[in-house]
Structure 1
Amino acid sequence: MKIIIAGAGEVGFHLAKLLSYESQEITLIDTNKESLAHADTHLDIRVLRGDATSVSVLRDAKVETSDLVIGVTASETTNITLCMLAKQLGSKRTIARISNTEFVDNRELIKFPELGIDELISPEELAASEIQLLLNQSAFNNTYEFEEGLLIMVGVSLPKSAPFVGKMVKEAAQIFPGLHFMPIALQRKGTQYTLIPRGDTVFKDGDQVYFVTDSTGVDELYKLTGKKKEEIKNVMILGGSKVGFKTARDLCDKKFNVKLIEKDKAKAFEIADGLPNALVINGDCRNVELLEEESLDSMDAFIAVTGNSETNIMSCLVAKSKKIKKTIALVENMDYFQLSQSIGVDTLINKKLLAANNIFRYIRKGEVVALTRLNNLNAEILEFIVKATSEVTGKIIRELDFPRTAIIGGVIRDGKGIIALGDFEIKEGDRVVVCCLPRSIPRIEKLFL
C-alpha cells in the first residue's frame, strides 16, 4: 500500500514506524526539519518537508496514486483540510486526527465522508473510552469490546490460587466444561515472549493471560481467576487534560462521584464551569499530603492523566500503597508501556497505540472491522467479516490450515457472540475474532480474502 502520513510528531512517527515494519510504502510530510531528520535516520521511509495542505507538496508525495492519507499533525484544521484535498486529488481513503470530540459525537449529522474524510480519529476520545471500559471490568488490566460487547477481550494476571494454574489448556477445558471463554494469548511472568495457547500449553502462576468471552463468561472468569468484581463509585482523576476532562464528564454522566485535581488555577476554574457535577480542586498532584487531604484512601479508582508520564506512574504507585482497587496511568513513553506488568500500576494506556490500533485496520487485507494490539504483547486481535469467497467459508475450524501462531477466539453470528471450538462451521457473514503473532498475519489475511 502507498500511505502518506502528515505530521511527524509522536503519533505520526509511531504510525510510520509500525507501518514501515509491515513493508508499506510510506511518505511522511512535516514542516519541522528536526522531526523529519529523526524519522529519516531511524525509519525506512520517504520524508518530505513542506505544508501538508499544499497541493504541490501533495503532488510531490504522489497523492493521486495513494491508497491512504492520514492527517495526524497537531492542527485539527490542517488534518481536515489535508483529507479533503487528498480525496479531491485522487487518494482512495483518508483519516483525520481531531481533538474536538464534538465532531465524533455528530458524525451522523455532518456526514464527513461527503466532505472527503472517511474516518475521524480522536486519541483523547479513545483514551477516555478505554478508561471507562477498564472501570467497568475493574479486576482486569486490559479490555476490548467487539460489536458493543457481544464478545469481550479481557486480560488478567493469574494468581496462584486460580484453579487452572498448573493445568494444560485441554485439561482445564475438561475440568470446567461449558465455560464461555477462550484463552487467546499468554505472556509468562518476567518475560517478553508472547505465546498463542494450544491444548498442551500449561497455565502458570503470574501468567498474563488474555481471554475472549461472551457476556455470560465475564462472571465465570471472575470466579475462576480468583478476582473480585469491585464496585467502582468514587474516582479521583489527576490532570485536567483533554483526556481528564472527557473522562470526568463521561463518568459524571454515569453517576460516578468524580474528584479532579488540576495544577493550573485558571484551567481548574474553567474545568469546574464545564463539570458542575464533579469536585474540581486546584493543587499540585505531586503533593502526597494534598492527595491524602482529599481522601485518597476512600477512592475506588485513581486515574492519572497529566502530561507527564513519570508523574502519572508515581502518583498511581502512591494510590496503590493506599489499597486503591484500580489504578490507571496515561503514559507517552513507549518504553514504560512495555514494562506495565512490572511497574506496579494496574493498567497503563497510551494514546499513540490506541490511535494506531484504530488506523491499522485500514491497511489490513480482508474485511477487517476491528483491530487491537495487546498491551506489551507482540500480538494483534483482528475481527474479520467472512465473505462468500473467503477460504474459511463453509469450513470447520479444526480443518482450517491455521498456523500455530494464531487462534480463533470467537465468532459473532446473528447478533450473538459464540465461543467457537474445533467442530464449529464458519459461514458467510460471520464476524470472526482472530488473535495472531505478527509473522502469521499475511497467512491469516489470505484465509479471509
Structure 2
Amino acid sequence: MRIIIVGDGKMGSTFAQRLSKAGHDVTIIDKRATALQHTIESLDIMAIEGNGTTLEIQREAGVEQADLLIAATNTDEQNLLTCLIAKRAGAKHTIARVRSPEYVKEISLIQEDLGLSLTINPELACATEMARVLRFPSAVKIDTFTGGRVEILKHCLSPNSPLVGIRLSELSRFKASVLICAVERGKEVFIPNGSFQLAAGDRISIVAQPRDASLFFRRIGAPTSPVRQIMLLGGGRIAYYLAAQMADFGADVKIIEQDYAVCRNLAEALPNVTVIHGDGTDHLLLSQEGIEEMDAVATLTGLDEQNILMSLYAGQVSKAKIITKITRDSFEDIVENMDVGSVFYPRYIAAEAVVRYVRAMANSTGSNVETLYSIVGDKAEALEFRVSQGSRVSGIPLQDLRTRPGILIGSIHRGARVFIPRGQDTIEEGDSVVVVTTLPNLNDLDDILERRR
C-alpha cells in the first residue's frame, strides 16, 4: 500500500518503521531536515521536507494516489486539518493522532464529520492496556482475540513457580485448558513443543479463554484478584486516563504529581481520585501515602530514568504489582534485565493499532487477517485469521498439517465454541484461528504451510 505519514517525531518514525517493515511503500513528511535525515538513514523510505498540512506538499508526496495518510504531528488540530485536506485531495483513508482528553467524548462526532478512518490516542490506548493488566495482576501483558473470548497472557516464572522444570507435555496436571504458545528466555524466543522444559525467569505467553486463564493461575498459586489500591506517580495524560478507568472499576486511586496546576486540573476532572501535590521520588512522602500497602504502583512521569528508579524502589518496599512507562526504545535492552514489572511503550501500542488497521484494509485485497498483536516485541506475533472457502488447511487434522517452522495454532473459534486445539482437531471454513509465529508478514492462513517445491 502507498502510505504517507505527516510528522517525523517519535510516533511518526515508529509508524514508518513498522509499516515499511511490513512491506508498504511509505513516504514521510516533516519540516525538520535533521529528523528526516535520521529516518531515511535507518529506513528505506521516501522523505519530503515541508509542511505536511499544505496541499502543495501533500501533492508532492502523491496524496492523490495514497491508500492511507497518517497525521502524527504534536498538535491535535493540525492532525485533524491535515487529514481533512488529504481526504479532499484524494487519499482513500486517513488516520489522525488525537491526544487531548478534551476531545475524547466528541471523538466519534469528529471522526464522522471529517471522514476519518481512525483516530489514535496513544496515551488512552496505553492506559487501557495497563488497566487490563491491573485487573489480572499475574499477567505482564494481555492481548484479546475473537471479541474477548480468547486471551494471550504473558507471565514471568519466578524461581518458586510450580511450572519451573516441567515439560509442556505435563501441563495437563493443572487441569486447565491452556496452551503455552511462546517462551522468551533471555534474548531468544521459542515457539515450543511438548518436550520444551520451562525454567525460572522464562516469560511465557499463554493462550486461553478468560475463565480457563483464571483457573490456571489459581492452580499455580498466582494472584488473580484485581488490584484495589493503586498509586500513580506522575499526573500526565496516561495517569488521567488510567485513574479514570480504574476508579470506574471501583479501585482506590491515588496520584502524586509535582506540578500544582496539573494537580488542580486532575482533582477537578477526577473527583473520585485522591490527588497529592508532591515529588514522587521523595521516599518519605511515598511512605506517608502508604506505598508499602499498595496493590499496584505505576510510574508514569515524562522521564524514563525516573520511572525506572521509582519502579525499582516500589518493588523493594512493597509487594505491589509494578507498571513502568517507557518512552524511548534505547532503554529496551536495559529494561529487559531489570525488575520493573510490566513495561509499556505508548508509541508501540499506537503503532500496533495502526498496523492492525492496515491489515484490516488489506482484507479487501486478499488478506484474511482479522487481528494482529506483537507479543514479543518484533520477534513474534499472534494473528487471528478467518478461514476462507477453499483454504488448503481446511479439513486436515492438525497433526497431519505440514506447517512451516515457527508456527503454532493457538485456538479455534467455531460458532459458539472456542477451544485449544489438539492434534486430531481440524480447521474448517468459517473458523477464526489464532496463529502464533516468529515468521514475518503472514497475510493468509495458507502461508503457515510449508512452501511447495
Is this a same-fold pair by TM over 0.5?
yes
Aligned runs of 1:367-406 on 2, under 5 Å? 367-376=368-377, 378-406=379-407
* d(CA) in 1 for partners of 2:393, 2:82: 39
* CA shift digits 1:369-404 (9 cap, x unpaired): 322212546111122222225443444433434222
2:33 maps to what in 1? 33
Normalising by the residue count of structure 1, what TM-score does the alignment of the two structures yield? Answer: 0.91
Instruction: Give the aligned residue type for 2:251.
Output: F
2:350 maps to what in 1? 355
1:279 maps to what in 2? 274
Aligned runs of 1:15-414 on 2, under 5 Å? 15-101=15-101, 105=105, 110=109, 112=111, 115-173=114-172, 175-176=173-174, 179-188=176-185, 191-364=186-359, 365=362, 366-376=367-377, 378-414=379-415
Instruction: Give the aligned residue type for 1:325.
Output: A
Report the Cα offset of residue 314 of structure 1.
0.8
Contact 2:314 2:320 in 1 (8 A): no
Give percent identity, aligned residues only: 29
Secondary structure at 1:240's aligned position in 2? coil
Contact 1:150 1:415 in 2 (8 A): no
Q: 1:400 to 1:113 in 2, by over 3 A?
A: farther
In structure 1, stretches of 5+ residues that fail to align are none
Q: 1:391 to 1:31 in 2, by over 3 A?
A: farther
Report the Cα offset of residue 106 of structure 1.
5.1
- Number of residues paired by the alignment? 443
Report the Cα offset of residue 231 of structure 1.
4.5
Secondary structure at 2:305's aligned position in 1? helix
Instruction: Give the aligned residue type for 1:42.
Output: S
Moved more, 265-274 or 431-440: 431-440
* CA shift digits 1:302-343 (9 cap, x unpaired): 011111111111111111111232010110121323444421
* CA shift digits 1:178-202 (9 cap, x unpaired): 53111111111xx211111123322
Report the Cα offset of residue 132 of structure 1.
0.6
* d(CA) in 2 for partners of 1:91, 1:239: 39
* d(CA) in 2 for partners of 1:41, 1:187: 30
Q: 1:442 to 1:265 in 2, by over 3 A?
A: same
Contact 1:6 1:71 in 2 (8 A): yes
1:429 maps to what in 2? 430
Contact 2:369 2:385 in 1 (8 A): yes
Report the Cα offset of residue 442 of structure 1.
5.5
Instruction: Give the aligned residue type for 2:150.
Output: L
Moved more, 154-163 or 127-136: 154-163
* d(CA) in 2 for partners of 1:311, 1:358: 28
Secondary structure at 2:148's aligned position in 1? coil
* d(CA) in 2 for partners of 1:331, 1:255: 27
Secondary structure at 2:301's aligned position in 1? coil
Contact 2:385 2:445 in 1 (8 A): no
* d(CA) in 1 for partners of 2:236, 2:25: 35
* d(CA) in 2 for partners of 1:119, 1:367: 20
1:6 maps to what in 2? 6
Runs of 4+ aligned residues of structure 1 deviating over 6 Å after TM superposition are none
Instruction: Give the aligned residue type for 1:428.
Output: E
Secondary structure at 2:11's aligned position in 1? helix
Secondary structure at 2:424's aligned position in 1? coil
Contact 2:267 2:275 in 1 (8 A): yes
* d(CA) in 1 for partners of 2:20, 2:106: 33
Q: 1:340 to 1:5 in 2, by over 3 A?
A: same
* d(CA) in 2 for partners of 1:292, 1:5: 46
Q: 1:382 to 1:186 in 2, by over 3 A?
A: same
* d(CA) in 2 for partners of 1:263, 1:304: 13
Q: 1:194 to 1:443 in 2, by over 3 A?
A: farther
* d(CA) in 2 for partners of 1:171, 1:96: 48
* d(CA) in 2 for partners of 1:219, 1:75: 42
Moved more, 199-208 or 55-64: 199-208
Q: 1:101 to 1:144 in 2, by over 3 A?
A: farther
Secondary structure at 1:362's aligned position in 2? helix
Report the Cα offset of residue 350 of structure 1.
0.5
Secondary structure at 2:442's aligned position in 1? helix
Normalising by the residue count of structure 2, what TM-score does the alignment of the two structures yield? Answer: 0.91
Q: 1:225 to 1:394 in 2, by over 3 A?
A: same
Contact 1:402 1:444 in 2 (8 A): no
Moved more, 311-320 or 355-364: 355-364
Contact 1:297 1:322 in 2 (8 A): yes
Instruction: Give the aligned residue type for 1:329.
Output: T
Contact 1:411 1:417 in 2 (8 A): yes
